[in-house]
Amino acid sequence: MATLNVAILGQGRSGRDIHGAYLSKNPEHFRIVATVDLIEERRQRSAKEYGCDVYADYRELMKRTDIDLVVNALPSHLHVPVTLEFLKAGFNVLCEKPLAHTVADVNRLIAASQRSGKVLAVFQQSRYAPYFVQIQKVIASGVLGRIVQINMAWNGFARRWDWQTLQRMNGGNLLNTGPHPLDQALHLYGEGMPKVFCRMDRVNTYGDAEDHVKLILTGDGHPLIDLEISSCAPFPGFLYDIYGSRGGLRATMTSVEWKYFVPEEAPEQKLIVDPLSKPDGTPAYCSEQLPWREEKWTPSEADGGAFTTATGGLYGQLYRTLTTGVPLEVTPQQVRRQIAVIEECRRQNPHIY
């Protein structure tokens, strides 16, 4: 079994606490051989934690020939230019989200990957979260019937004052948190570019980017998707609330519940135009008792936490791509559609952008 040599660009919350934490615990598949960070303390810490080489300048890595994968966990505005440099230099790259600011930038990255013959992967690990995998299983089973609407609320209450609140650094809720639910939403939406309605606001942030987003995706033959990514909700509810023609589903990251009826078990009905009456002749309301079936899923110990399991799912798939050549499951082309949606959201909100 091959062990891949990995270099991590950045030792902040993503580079250290997500990528470094996962890779260092999976030595049978990955070996951290180098990290890059401008901050001396972070470089020295990573040298002790991983036993790796450290650099202040990422360009020093390009002199090496032993690196199988570069993880770009630098600040968001550096994702495109630095990823481009490494692709052109002949390295496989896993880039943190958001991949890019514009579709044009995604096109540049895809073209560079194709020219070099190297893999461009995007860290959209929420596709592999156990709760989302279960939601897809329920929908695919058909028990909910035709899916009419999918409500998603990735909400909370927070005031932020770090670099991720700044437009010039690709900050804001839509580019920070948004790539996770948007990847899931577009996966459930299906093929094609949806019609987009979006309203953004700047409320509690100390930067100039949005911290409240309302986004609706629609299209003929597709479910309506209502997505909120707000930092103004002190009483957040369910992550998912799905309506179907035979039932519905609601979910958090730790629980999925669904309720549905089987048509063959339901009372037979037909359209009645005449006024409805009770047995005593008084007016009646149109109602019935449906034989609901209810089911629930919670993660097992084997599933682990949603975030850790999702990270493992994406890295496991990327490992297979790099060692056996199987196609990526989360592709740059899929992420391109996500960035197209985000671009349209910005266009509709000139008061913010």
* pLDDT, average across residues 198-203: 96
Supply the pLDDT for residue 304.
62
Task: State whether CATH 3.30.360.10 applies to domain 127-304+337-347.
Answer: yes
Supply the pLDDT for residue 300.
81
Which phi and psi (to 5°) does residue 26 adopt?
Answer: -130, 60
Tell me what the pLDDT averaged over the chain comes to: 95
Measured distance CA(67)–CA(51) in Å, rounded = 15
DSSP lists the bridge partners of residue 291 as none
Q: Among 3.40.50.720, 3.40.605.10, 3.30.420.310, 3.40.50.150, what is the CATH number of 4-123?
A: 3.40.50.720
b/e sequence 202-239, b meaning 16+ C-beta within 10 Å: bebbebebbbbbebbbebeebbbbbbbbbbbbeeeebb
Residue ranges of domains in the chain: 4-123, 127-304+337-347
Supply the pLDDT for residue 282.
93
Q: Which of 201, 203, 233, 195 is nearest to 214 (CA)?
A: 201
Measured distance CA(352)–CA(349) in Å, rounded = 6
* pLDDT, average across residues 43-66: 96
Measured distance CA(174)–CA(166) in Å, rounded = 12
Supply the pLDDT for residue 303.
61
Per-residue pLDDT band at 307 (split at 50, 70, 90): confident
Residue 75 clears pLDDT 70, i.e. is over it: yes
64 φψ region: left (φ > 0), alpha (ψ -120 to 50), beta (else)? beta
Tokens of 84: 């481009």
